[in-house]
């Protein structure tokens, strides 16, 4: 079976621009759909242990659904993934006020973050020697957009391996003024393809996490040992999600940043998710220092998928590789500043397989 990239019209923006869905097929049973609006991944079909492919990400039926309010389903998130306290930060002595879209805070870049923007998409010439097919998504974020300084040129590449079942995301960005940047992807994964994720087993190789306040802003770092936040050994997500722990009550479940136990450079394991009944396994590797695990706490049943299924609490989970939340206001956290003549680059790899 050969790899391929197919296209179809997914809909039209209110101003008439055509939104195209690109479907990448690696010829091994892995298929990814993506559209211009928000760079959204509309579907990701992965084989189970019997070779049957199922969609493992939550998606919506039509472009009109994606143009309405939704919890960042499948989007590229930026300029700043996660939260910035008060929507304020100071860089090089200059104070900046951002759009507030999460109570008193800024979340995922504001009301019109990268997940709501129109991305130019073009296929990358096939590289048979590397065993890859890919598309490039490009967007230029204007100086002052949602309050962020600097014009930022962003390229995100989605690549499927044609020799193994893997999806890689490569981020690249440059700015003409000092700014802050934290890019990630907001897919809601469910390896079962339906129902809740609470029986799926999660591993996160992290001995520390970020406790949060009532606004879900980090309060520094804390050890996971002896808490429901210890996923260093594979654990069903639902096993401790309702435990009487203050941080679980504060977030309504898991919605926290884990600091990976990793070397400072190169790729490292961020998470491993297993669904024993189907046999599906997903490993997430990244160059980023942390991962935000969100257990779909705020899914309330108001959204439905292409087959009419209702997305309720725990219908999907997010594993957002990134820098720490609120880093511009927390000097002890790794810096997210980006300056002219620097290139931001980051890679996250999703590798799919099956249990023996």
Q: Which residues are annotated as a binding site?
A: 82-83, 186-188, 255
pTM of the model as a whole: 0.97
If you average pLDDT over residues 275-289, what whole number do you get? 98
Task: Look up the CATH number of the domain holding residue 68.
Answer: 2.70.98.10
Binding site per annotation, positions for beta-D-galactose: 82-83, 186-188, 255
186 tagged catalytic: yes
Residue 256: which of 215, 209, 187 has the closest Cα? Answer: 209
Domain tally for the chain? 1
Cα-to-chain-centroid distance, residue 79 = 13
What pLDDT score does 1 carry?
62
Which among 21, 145, 274, 320 is annotated as catalytic?
Answer: 320
In total, the chain counts a number of residues equal to: 356
The per-residue pLDDT for range 64-104, each reduced to its tens digit, is 999 999 999 999 999 999 999 999 999 999 999 999 999 99
Q: Distance between CA atoms of 336 and 118, rounded to whole angstroms?
A: 24
The answer, yes or no, to whether residue 278 has pLDDT greater than 90, is: yes
What three-state secondary structure class fits 206?
A: coil
Range of the domain at 12: 4-354
356 has pLDDT over 90 = no
Cα gap 19→121, rounded to integer Å: 10
- What pLDDT, on a 0 to 100 scale, did the predictor assign at position 128? 76
Residue-wise pLDDT tens digits, 151-181? 999 999 999 999 999 999 999 999 999 999 9
Over residues 146-159, the pLDDT tens digits come to 999 999 999 999 99
Active site residue 350: no
pLDDT band at 127 (very low <50, low <70, confident <90, very high): confident
Q: Active site residue: 70, 108, 185, 186, which one? A: 186
């Amino acid at each position: 079976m050969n790899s391929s990239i197919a296209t179809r019209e997914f809909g039209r923006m209110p101003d008439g621009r055509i939104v195209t869905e690109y479907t990448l097929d690696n010829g091994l049973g892995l298929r990814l759909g993506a559209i211009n609006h928000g760079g959204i991944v509309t579907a990701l079909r992965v084989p189970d242990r019997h070779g049957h492919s199922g969609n493992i990400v939550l998606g919506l039926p039509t472009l009109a659904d994606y143009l309405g309010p939704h919890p960042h389903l499948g989007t590229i998130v930026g300029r700043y993934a996660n939260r910035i306290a008060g929507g304020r930060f100071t860089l090089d002595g200059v104070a900046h006020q951002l759009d507030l879209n999460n109570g008193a805070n800024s979340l995922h870049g504001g009301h019109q973050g990268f997940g709501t923007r129109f991305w130019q998409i073009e296929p990358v010439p096939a590289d048979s020697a590397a065993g890859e097919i890919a598309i490039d998504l490009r967007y230029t974020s204007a100086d002052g957009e949602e309050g962020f300084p600097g014009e930022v040129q962003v390229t995100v590449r989605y690549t499927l391996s044609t020799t193994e079942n893997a999806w890689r995301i490569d981020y690249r960005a440059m700015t003409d003024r000092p700014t802050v940047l934290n890019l990630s992807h907001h897919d809601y994964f469910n390896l079962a393809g339906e129902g809740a994720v609470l029986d799926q087993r999660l591993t996160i190789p992290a001995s520390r996490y970020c406790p949060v306040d009532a606004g879900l802003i980090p309060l520094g770092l804390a050890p996971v040992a002896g808490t429901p936040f210890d996923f260093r050994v594979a654990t069903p997500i639902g096993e401790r999600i309702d435990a009487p722990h203050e941080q679980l009550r504060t977030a309504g479940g898991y919605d926290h940043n884990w600091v990976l136990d990793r070397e400072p450079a190169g790729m490292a394991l961020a998470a491993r998710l297993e669904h024993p009944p189907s046999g599906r396994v997903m490993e997430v590797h990244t160059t980023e220092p942390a991962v935000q695990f969100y257990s779909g706490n705020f899914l309330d049943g108001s959204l439905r998928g292409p087959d009419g299924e209702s997305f309720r609490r725990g219908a999907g989970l997010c594993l957002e590789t990134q820098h720490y939340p609120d880093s511009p206001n927390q000097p002890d956290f790794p810096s997210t500043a980006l300056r002219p003549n620097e290139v931001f680059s980051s890679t996250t790899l999703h590798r799919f397989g099956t249990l023996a």
